[in-house]
Chains A and B, each alone.
Chain A
Amino acid sequence: MPLLRIDKVVKRFGGAVAVAGVSLDVEAGEFFSMLGPSGCGKTTLLRMIAGFENPDEGRIELDGTDIRALPPHRRPINTVFQQYALFPHLNVFENVAFGLRRAQVGEAELRRRVTESLDQVQLGTFAERMPAMLSGGQKQRVALARALVLRPRLLLLDEPLGALDHQLRLQMQVELKNLQRASGITFLFVTHDQPEALTMSDRIAVFSRGHIEQAAPARAVYDEPATPFVARFLGASNLLSAEVLRVADGTAQVQLTAGPKVLVKAPYPTVVGSTVSVMLRPEWLGLSRGLPEGRVGAPAVVRDRLYQGASTRYTLATLGMEDLEVVLTPGFGAVAEDLMPGTSGVVSWPDGTGVIVPASPER
């Protein structure tokens, strides 16, 4: 049985529908992210799970029991808020101890657990400090400790890393991931940042306008997006139209509308003769003056070049697109010639690399 089951939940605010009939299962012990642009309903769904909003329709079940009637303070679920929501009048220790005191845990046990929790987030020496004296990253860790110390069945995190600077954010992503693995607590994480979701999650649900477009393991969401929205949201996607010629066992042969005949992956049901989108991620492509052996490709003109340190991003006019993106990382065996804007070359890839993205949502 899944730890958390969301069943056809609907939420409306006035005339607008924030959550439009969402169903989802979260398994115990997993790091599950809800990813999507702002306003897509992910935060609303999170708040309904926490108990701060009530669904208009649908069920929310935790360990098989419907928890909709339970007020937030009775649910075995805790939340890490976006702005941390630390109590300004209590010091770090008392903030972390807050939930334990409400549960009337004995003083000695309370002390032990709070200290342990603070150590877990590397804030052992900060017990006496007041929240006003903490940096953003420290506050975030206190918020985390405060929620984890209660050993909830489910931990909800509402874009907790949003206010941190880039370096700190990357560092915290790793720490959170490790914390989750070490504690074994199920994390339900909301974010609009796709690299973040990809880094940390076991599974990701991609939201758009109140529905889930795709809920799948991270790799599947990136490499085999179920809809064009998912494809685009997870990164530059270079979607090309093509006609399906032949389908066979997870692959298909297609005729690109503005390119050669190629072999592609077909993870979802595909109909011969139909027009589909083929996705080529920028990092799967190569750029060179001539077409290398054993690869398929097409002539291209370099429109723009952006040096990014570890890699270089090129924008090409090719395959019927004005802005096809290619990301080249120089290295042994890479097809990566640094062509300047205005130069003509060839964009290429190993045959069979592309993937068909279905036009309509598939799970």
Chain B
Amino acid sequence: MSQKAGQSPPWLASPALLVLFFGMLLPLAMVLLDSFRQRGVYGGFAEIEDLGLYLSSGAWLANYERALEPIYLKIFWRSSWMAVVTTLGCLVVAYPLAWWIARGMPERWRSVGLLLVVVPFWTSFVVRTFAWVWILRTEGLLNQVLVGIGLIDEPLALLYTEWAVLIGLIYGELPFMILPIYASLEKLDTSLLEAAADLGASAWTTFWKVVWPLSLPGVVAGAVLVFVPSMGQFLISDMLGGAKSVLVGNLIQNQFFGGKNAPFGFAVAFVLTLLVLGILALQARLVKGSQELL
């Protein structure tokens, strides 16, 4: 095969392609096929008696039809809504933090700042979520402090509410928002801020007209990194929400345990995947314009 000088031979990609194929594409294809089947009486899969009839009668789409029923659409809606709120919450918390690390602290402390953001995430996710249970309980740290300093008389019932779930979600995803925004802000040229001020922009105007637009690629990247996992979360709504709500993650998880309906679980998972891919496509369009700035 003729090759231009400097190009690597194509077969060098084969290990990666093999991993991709056997590790992702093939299992995904298998799971997709299984999502068209029905559960057996005791879980597992039901045998298909007549394949032709099964296909022509539309029975193979049963799980997908079910996944789009109102009760389940409601779950998708609530999960999307939670994910959006989580993303916005993360943005509000992460942006000032990222700014502070990128521009507010002396340069030699920056890696320390970043390390502090990341180190908690080297411990188990379950343990960290459980820490919030401990903080938000009626006799937890937060209530002890608030009652102790006299701000409130009765402890707040924070645990097992939607607020607790939101706090857990925002906390859990925070570094994924902080780091991309940090990367954007760190690259920001100080002279641009001085130029804006020089031309008559107040601090606030400089932020809106110069800093925000230039940090947008980081913000969008962070938003995607936060939104996508938030859609699939199930642990936090169980641990911090008292298992009182069903998000898409819980729905899928249930199908593989109590519900014993793996095919339906796969179907829901694929609907979720399509939803997320749709959002990623949207993000790609948003970022296209600012690609040159990166």
Contact = CB atoms under 8 A, between A and B. Distances in A.
B194 A85 contact: yes
B293 interface: yes
A77 B205 CA distance: 18
A99 B198 CA distance: 8
A72 interface: yes
Nearest to B205: A102
B200 A73 contact: yes
Given A89-B214, A89-B293, A102-B205, A79 B200 contact: no
Contact of A88 (B197, B198, B201, B214): B214
A146 interface: yes
Among B192, B198, B201: residue with most chain A CB under 10 A: B198
A81 interface: yes
Given A79-B195, A89-B213, A89-B214, A102 B290 contact: no
B210 interface: yes
Interface in A1-22: none
Contacts of A72: 194, 197-198
B200 A99 contact: yes
Interface string A50-78: 11100000000000000000011110011
A132 interface: yes
Nearest to B199: A99
A74 B201 CA distance: 9
B290 A78 contact: no
B292 interface: yes
A130 interface: yes
Nearest to B213: A89
B2 interface: no
A72 B203 CA distance: 10
Interface in A108-135: 130, 132
B194 A81 contact: yes
Contacts of A147: 198-199
A51 to B, nearest CB: 8
A103 interface: yes
Given A88-B214, A88-B293, A130-B292, A78 B191 contact: no
Question: Which of B194, B196, B197, B200 has the most A CB atoms < 10 Å from its CB?
Answer: B200
A130 B213 CA distance: 15
B156 to A, nearest CB: 42
Given A81-B191, A130-B292, A132-B292, A73 B213 contact: no
Given A85-B194, A89-B214, 7 more contacts: A52-B194, A52-B197, A73-B198, A73-B200, A73-B202, A85-B192, A150-B200
5 contacts: A73-B197, A74-B200, A83-B191, A85-B191, A88-B293
Closest 8 CB pairs of A and B: A99-B199, A85-B195, A102-B200, A85-B191, A72-B197, A73-B197, A79-B198, A89-B213
